Amino acid sequence: MSHIMVTEIENRLKARKINPTAMRLLVLEFLIRQTAAISLNDLEKAMAPSDRITLYRTLKTFEEKGLVHSIEDGTGATKYALCEKDCDGESHHDLHVHFYCSTCRETFCLPDTRIPEMNLPNGFEKEEMNLIIKGMCERCNTPTLQ
């Protein structure tokens, strides 16, 4: 990691009032490089021999401070992806669609595809929304040249 990148990552953590420990810097740098959401198991494999509990706590801190959001994509493993800039510790504003590819089994954020506003019956109060579309991602859906 270059000095410039370390400074940028430190600043990103400090902006969310997160103490920039060595592990947090590494985890955030790893998340920035991802094109798809990752699970704790994915992170643990990438960061071996790091402690699973430390990685879990790092992800939870990032989520509490509005740096990442969690995604329940139906696979049984919670996935994590970077939040949009306007999220904070009070509320996440990541009301976008998530896409699960049934071929490569990766989960993608589609930030330009917003979840439509939902009108609930009286007496029902929304706490969170999650919309998962399942199918084949662009990479898996592109025919290979022979």
User: What is the rounded CA–CA span in Å between residue 117 and residue 86?
Assistant: 18
Residue 104 marked as a ligand binder: yes
Say if residues 65 and 53 touch (Cβ distance below 8 Å): no
Residue 51 marked as a ligand binder: no
Residue 109 marked as a ligand binder: no
Residue 137 marked as a ligand binder: yes
Query: How far are the Cα atoms of 1, 5, 65, 79, 95 from residue 43, in angstroms, in the given order?
Result: 18, 20, 19, 10, 24
Residue 3 marked as a ligand binder: no
Residue 101 marked as a ligand binder: yes
DSSP state of 55: H
Residues contributing to the annotated binding site = 92, 94, 101, 104, 137, 140
Residues contributing to the annotated binding site for Zn(2+) = 101, 104, 137, 140
